[in-house]
Amino acid sequence: MFIVQSYAQAVLFCIITMLCWGSWANTQKLASKSWRFELFYWDYVIGIFLFSVLSAFTLGSTGSEGRSFTNDLAQADPVNIGKALLGGVIFNAANILLSAAIAIAGMAVAFPIGIGLALILGVFINYLGAQKGDPVLLFTGVALVMLAIILNAIAYKRKAAGTGTVSSKGIILSIVAGILMSFFYRFIAASMDLENFVNPEPGKMTPYTAVFIFSCGILLSNFVFNTLLMKRPFEGAAVSYSDYFKGHFKTHLVGILGGLIWGLGNSFNLIAAGKAGPAISYGLGQGATLVAALWGVFIWKEFKGASRINALLTAMFLLFLVGIGLIIYAGK
């Protein structure tokens, strides 16, 4: 299987993760013009699962190092399989809430609050699980990201005050999503032997197998979570499975593309975790907050007409950049 050989390569993979995790929601924005997010989310989950299969039988099954996907899956301990599955269930619950928050409040609000909160809590949780990297630099970077999130919340409040509308529902969903999102990575990381991808501990899984099981957890739990949400949506009328099958082929492809993009980022992040450590790898990946905020501000114009908050947004982006830089340097 393919294995990352250096810290620099691991950082590159985490940057790709950051771009993927911060960009997939653009497909939801594109589809939302004619498609409810509950229906979009089915295609998104299918895309994640398809990428896990593709990754397992390509990068996960080639090369002379490590165990190939089929051999690794056959020897995996049921406890570790359960951990990866549970990680998928937790992620799916969090991500459905995040998608709902994006539909209600927009990317420039949902991502900085939800994913920013997930970054802060997730780095602490994953560092406690595997203490790799300089803690002073790591947590200083996290503190700067936290300040950036606070500035984003202030900017959103000022923008809402100017329009007379405040989406408290969108903010609450983002917060709950962020808390849940901070836990999923620890479970999937615990199912792997992060210290040795070349000769993994018996019963533990390689990243490719763990990603596949994790994606199965997402897909299976979606029949529960998303079905409930379709029947009792946060906003709008209920939708049905018949509505899903009425969607245009191109609309379905947009959702699947979103899942493929997120899946690419997820696979690269876990492949990098062996060299970078789970706390740094996760923290850099969740720098997606910055990428999504850039999309929301400059492409989707979610703060259009709110000129008084430009200084706040500029400060937010600078704090994110410095914070992410410190997280990278912490593992050097």
Q: What pLDDT digit, counting tens, does each position of 127-176 carry? A: 988 888 899 999 999 899 888 878 877 776 677 666 555 568 888 999 99
pTM given for the model: 0.87
Mean confidence (pLDDT) of the chain? 89
pLDDT at 255 over 60: yes
pLDDT digits (tens, 9 = 90+) for 281-308: 988 887 777 787 778 777 777 667 666 6
Instruction: Specify the pLDDT at position 314.
Output: 86
Residue 219 confidence class, pLDDT cut points 50, 70, 90: very high
What is the rounded (10 degree) CA torsion for 306, 172, 148, 120? -160
Q: What tokens does 85 get? A: 């599955």
Q: Does residue 311 contact residue 247 with C-beta atoms inside 8 Å? A: no
Cα–Cα nearest to 197, from 188, 208, 212:
208
User: What does residue 149 show for φ and ψ, rounded to 5 degrees?
Assistant: -65, -40
Residue 95 CB contacts under 8 Å (≥ 6 apart), including other chains: 177, 181
pLDDT at 307: 62
Select the more confidently predicted residue: 47 or 109: 47
Q: 309 or 6: which carries more pLDDT confidence?
A: 6
What is the pLDDT, as a whole number, of residue 108? 66
Please give the structure tokens belonging to residue 4: 């990352």
Residues 6+ away with beta carbon under 8 Å from 51? 215, 259, 260, 263, 264, 267
| Confidence class for position 34, pLDDT limits 50, 70, 90 | confident
32: three-class secondary structure by DSSP = coil
